[in-house]
Amino acid sequence: MDGIDILLNYLSKSSFITFFVLGWLSIYLVATFGIMFSRYFYLSSWLSREKSSLEAMLMGSKTVRNDSILNRCAKHDSLNEKLLNVCKRVAEKNATNGLWFLSVIASTSPFIGLFGTVVSILDTFSGLGSGGASLGVIAPAISEALVATAAGIFVAIPAYSAHLFIKRKAYEVVSYVEREAELLLALKGEEKDV
């Protein structure tokens, strides 16, 4: 039997709960990769803009570039540390957007899979009362029930990895924004001294 035949055989014996669990986990898997790729490209683009802005400031520019998230704050006449802290918090919130959902997927997927396994095992044990309680009957049914747990773990691993990956990328963006804010304050301090 090849893999497709095994899968079709498994699905033909599956209950509604198994289909529900596998469908739910499939949605989670698609959402994981969707969030991961969209956030990665968004944060990479943003990081590039903030790097360019910081480099321009280090090369002599007196303010951030127009495409920096700090641009709106830098235009205020009363630029101060509190205003820049608000802008940094907004940047942090924007950078970490979507991480909560990856965290939910990573933490709940194994439990969803386990739920499917428990229901399938209960169904298997309920059939034991009919007199066919041999190892040849029970073992395949339990191994099929464990597919839901494996699917839950299969979904949790990329979700957790994506969460850490995007969290790191967001940290890089926020650190550049913080450096720009510090440099803005330093430049403002130099203007006052003159």
How many domains would you assign to the chain? 1
Residue 121 · residue 145 · CB < 8 Å: yes
pTM confidence score: 0.82
Of the listed ranges 106-115, 156-165, 184-193, the least confidently predicted one is 184-193
Which residue range forms the structural domain that includes residue 37? Answer: 3-193
**Per-residue pLDDT at 139 exceeds 80:** no
Tracing tokens 């951030």 back to the chain, one arrives at 64
pLDDT at 30: 97
pLDDT at 189: 72
Pick the more confident residue, 103 or 125.
Answer: 103
Distance separating alpha carbons of residues 139 and 127, to the nearest angstrom: 13
Q: What is the pLDDT of residues 19-53, one digit of tens each?
A: 899 899 999 999 999 999 999 999 999 999 999 99
Rg of the chain in Å (alpha carbons): 26
**125 — pLDDT class (breaks 50, 70, 90):** confident
Q: What is the pLDDT of residues 81-96, one digit of tens each?
A: 888 889 999 999 999 9
Distances, alpha carbon 158 to alpha carbons 30, 85, 163, 193, in Å: 11, 33, 8, 53
User: Whole-number mean pLDDT of the chain?
Assistant: 87
Angle, helices 16-58/135-193, rounded to nearest 10 degrees? 20
Q: b vs e for 107-132, b when ≥16 Cβ sit within 10 Å of the residue's Cβ?
A: ebbbebbbbbbebbbeebeeeeeeee
Angle, helices 99-126/16-58, rounded to nearest 10 degrees? 160
Q: b vs e for 148-182, b when ≥16 Cβ sit within 10 Å of the residue's Cβ?
A: bbebbeebbebbbebbebbeebbebbbebbbbbbe
In this structure, the dihedral spanned by the alpha carbons of residues 111, 116, 122 and 125, taken in order and rounded to 10 degrees, is -120
Percent of the chain with pLDDT over 70: 88
Q: What is the mean predicted confidence (pLDDT) over 157-161?
A: 97
Most confident of 4-8, 12-16, 30-34: 30-34
